[in-house]
Amino acid sequence: MTEPTHPSASAVDLEDQAIEQWVHLTSGRASEADRSAFARWRGQSADHEAAARLAERIWQALPQTCAAQRFVVPTKVTRRPLRWAALAAGVGALALTGLSEPAKVYFADYATAVGERRALTLEDGSQVWLNSGSALSVRYSSSRREISLIKGEALFQVSKDASRPFVVQASGGSVQAVGTRFDVDRQGEQVRVGVTEGEVKVSSGGAVVPLRAAQRLEYVAGTAPSPTGALDLGSASAWQRGKLIFNRQPLAEVFADIERYLPGSLVIAGSLPTTAVSGVFNLDDIPGMLEMLARTQPVKIYRMPWLTVVVVNQTRA
């Protein structure tokens, strides 16, 4: 690793240099000479030292992300040839014992990649729009239409069939409708439900809550749903039209909504201010959206192929 020397570099240039060097130092390929070079680099000035400390803050924040806390190192599996009967038995056993979320996503009937949105028409004529990074499976019988939302967000336009309830299962709870239009957003164990037409019944933690048009609520696996609140119909399901609309939404929620459209992980280094954000953003221009937030909010945003880091500017927050 060469030691960069930019006597007149701006603070932003120094921060970029520090992050680039820190990536190399933590890659497992750095030598003692590289570490010594970085020590000399950070000692050139107070600005160099501040940039180095910023890079360290970013890396220290990584283990605090939800993705890092959920990560489990996979065990090494010895693969043997399987006959079809043995494979069927194995799949049956997995269905009975349960799968991890990544495995369930792999076996899902429908899934979208990060940045992809997809429209589906089910066998009964019901329509489904899958948001970025989402997955679901479909199980229809003569008496019930059941959807398992494994990950992400889906908007449902349900064909009426009173003899076969339409039920969406998500994180230990369910949303039941006969003929209506509603959105279910699952992020880990938390589920948000919003109704734009008709009415649904949300069941979780032993409680059943009716939810009508222009209402929303949320629940966490194993707990009763929250009280109902008003749903902003102007911004609800805007992602279906390729837009994100924020109406005085807290900055933390804005980044939580954006995260699903970013490859890799999003890290927030510092405490975000309680800024209310309003605006209409194009989902086909995520870099432009991040650039706008960096210009108008007290944050700096660094993008790498697998990581987006939001650093709170304490002097402006």
Averaged pLDDT score across all residues of the chain: 82
Least confident interval from 14-28, 29-43, 188-202, 246-260: 14-28
Break the chain into its structural domains and give their ranges: 11-64, 84-230, 242-312
> Does 237 have pLDDT greater than 90?
no
pLDDT of residue 201: 97
pLDDT of residue 92: 45
> Does 23 have pLDDT greater than 80?
no
Is the distance from CB of 118 to CB of 110 less than 8 angstroms?
A: yes
Query: What percent of the chain is predicted at pLDDT more than 70?
Result: 80
pLDDT of residue 153: 96
pLDDT of residue 87: 38
pLDDT band at 140 (very low <50, low <70, confident <90, very high): very high
Pairing of strands 166-170, 145-157: parallel
Least confident interval from 4-13, 196-205, 214-223, 302-311: 4-13
Q: What is the pLDDT of residues 73-114, one digit of tens each?
A: 333 333 334 333 433 444 444 443 445 566 778 889 999 999
pLDDT of residue 283: 92
DSSP the chain: ------TT--HHHHHHHHHHHHHHHTTT---HHHHHHHHHHHTS-HHHHHHHHHHHHHHHHGGGSHHHHH--PPPP-------HHHHHHHHHHHHHH---HHHHHHT-SEE--TT--EEEE-TTS-EEEE-TT-EEEEEE-SS-EEEEEEEEEEEEEPPP-TTS-EEEEETTEEEEESS-EEEEEEETTEEEEEEEESEEEEEETTEEEEEETTEEEEEETTSPPPPPEE--TTTTTGGGGTEEEEEEEEHHHHHHHHHTTSSSEEEEESPPP--EEEEEEETT-HHHHHHHHHHHSSEEEEEETTEEEEEE-TTT-
pLDDT of residue 70: 40
Domain range 242-312, CATH class: alpha beta
Q: Greatest CA separation found in the chain?
A: 75
pLDDT band at 192 (very low <50, low <70, confident <90, very high): very high
pLDDT band at 60 (very low <50, low <70, confident <90, very high): low
Domain range 84-230, CATH class: mainly beta
* C-beta atoms surrounding 106 within 10 Å: 12
* C-beta atoms surrounding 185 within 10 Å: 23
Q: What is the pLDDT of residues 205-215, one digit of tens each?
A: 999 999 999 99
pLDDT band at 12 (very low <50, low <70, confident <90, very high): low
pLDDT of residue 101: 62
Give 75 or 27, the one with higher predicted confidence.
27
Q: What is the pLDDT of residues 114-126, one digit of tens each?
A: 999 999 999 999 9
Find where tokens 């240099």 sit: 17
pLDDT of residue 78: 35
